[in-house]
Amino acid sequence: MFYTKFKKWIAMAELALALVFTPILIAQTKKMIQVKGSDTMVNLVQILAEEYMTKNPKAAPIAVLGGGSGTGITALINGTCDIANHSRDITAKEINQAWERGIKPRTFAIAVDGLSIIVNEKNPLNQMTMDQVGAIYRGDVKNWQVVGGPKMAISLYGRQSNSGTYSFLQEHVLKNKNFSPDVKEMNGNAQIIEGVMADQAAIGYVGVGYVIDKTTGKPMKGLKVINISKDEKSQGYSPMDKEAVDTGKYPIARALWQSTNGKPGAAAAAFLQFELGPEGQKIVEREGFYPIGAKYIEANTKNLK
């Protein structure tokens, strides 16, 4: 009687269960570490992943995608990646969203970056203050002459708002004010470099790992890296000066972060340990970024446990 009355429903329920569980079983056979986020970090983490997989052929494969720090953090909150790359801190709003979604981010500093302000090599300017860079990117200063450069309209190159580098610059250099609408929004660091090389009036901002020619250890041909000072009275420092970055004399240095949901699983933890260990940090340095110092090592070790 019961079965006769509900057989249609039972058949439908069986079909629904089959539809649900078959793909789950298929999906569970594939274990891949998904890494998503910062474009500044994407090349570095891809190289770290490749070397890790070469050295550990039996380890879980790793897929590394860019998209920007905001995209990576959102993916972590939505449970669509295992590790988020981000070149800025997680905001209070994102921490609240994560908590609501059952995500407890644990962060690991994997490298240090000197955020580099670059111009075309033909630009005679060598140094600027933080305020001058902020005024240029807000659109308050529109000609190089105002900051001691040639009489030439400034051509702005930057990133989209989901970029951690965009947010970092907005917070620390633009003092939380808007970027000029004249900024040409590029898809990544490499595109900014191409733009600045081809445009004599250009200014751009990229991670230090992108400006160094790995064969010479100097800035890439066609680019000039500007020394940055905290204010008019301070000395300017280059982001390529390791000591200045380490000691905080270079005013726009930052850590490059990875975050996991809670304690990383065995596969993700093994990869993180490789990145944070001597082999990984050597790669970090080779790629033009700086290895993490003692203050980060302690926090990283604690978060891995």
Partner 1 sequence: MKIGKAKKLALFAALALMTASGLFAQTTTPPPQTFSTTIYFDYSFWATNNGYITNTDPKVNANPMTNKFAFRRAYFTYENKISPGLKFRFRIDADNTGRLTATSGTKDDRLVPFVKHIYLDWTGLLPNSSLKIGMTETMAFKIAEDRWGLRSVAKTLVDGYKDLTGADIRTSSADLGVNLTGAISKELRYGAMVMNGEGYSHPELNKYKKYGGYLQVVPTAGLNIWGYAEYEKLSDKPEAAKMYKVDVYFDMVPGLNISGEWFTYDSDTKFNKITNADGTTTNSHFNIGGFSVFSTYKIIPDKLLVFARYDGYRPDSTNGNKDLSLIIAGADWTPIHSSWKIQPNVWFYNYKDSAKKSDIIVNLTFFLTF
Report the interface residues with partner 1, using CB under 8 A. Answer: 8-9, 12, 16, 19-20, 23-24, 27, 34, 75, 78-81, 92-93, 95-96, 98-104, 138-140, 161, 170, 176-182, 261
Contacts of 30 (CB under 8 A, 6+ apart): none
Nearer to partner 1, 140 or 279 (CB): 140
CB of 219 to partner 1, least distance (A): 30
Cα(139)–Cα(132) distance, integer angstroms:
11
Nearer to partner 1, 30 or 302 (CB): 30
CB of 102 to partner 1, least distance (A): 2
Nearer to partner 1, 56 or 78 (CB): 78
CB of 135 to partner 1, least distance (A): 10
Q: Tokens 């988020």 belong to which residue?
A: 84
Nearer to partner 1, 50 or 182 (CB): 182
Residue 304: name the closest of 79, 107, 103 by CA.
107
The structure tokens listed for 181 are 């609408």
The structure tokens listed for 38 are 């910062």
Contacts of 236 (CB under 8 A, 6+ apart): 126, 127, 128, 129, 227, 228, 229
Residue 261: name the closest of 111, 97, 77, 89 by CA.
77
CB of 70 to partner 1, least distance (A): 14
CB of 65 to partner 1, least distance (A): 10
Can you tell me whether residue 239 is helix, strand or coil?
coil
Can you tell me whether residue 270 is helix, strand or coil?
helix
Cα(45)–Cα(38) distance, integer angstroms:
10
CB of 13 to partner 1, least distance (A): 9
- 131 sits in which H/E element: helix 130-138
CB of 268 to partner 1, least distance (A): 13
Q: How far is CA 211 from CA 90, 92, 126, 203, 289, in A?
A: 26, 32, 15, 13, 10
CB of 75 to partner 1, least distance (A): 8
Cα(41)–Cα(46) distance, integer angstroms:
8
Nearer to partner 1, 179 or 296 (CB): 179
Nearer to partner 1, 166 or 274 (CB): 166
Nearer to partner 1, 23 or 248 (CB): 23
Nearer to partner 1, 98 or 115 (CB): 98
Q: Which DSSP category does 75 fall into?
A: H
Which residue type does 165 have?
T
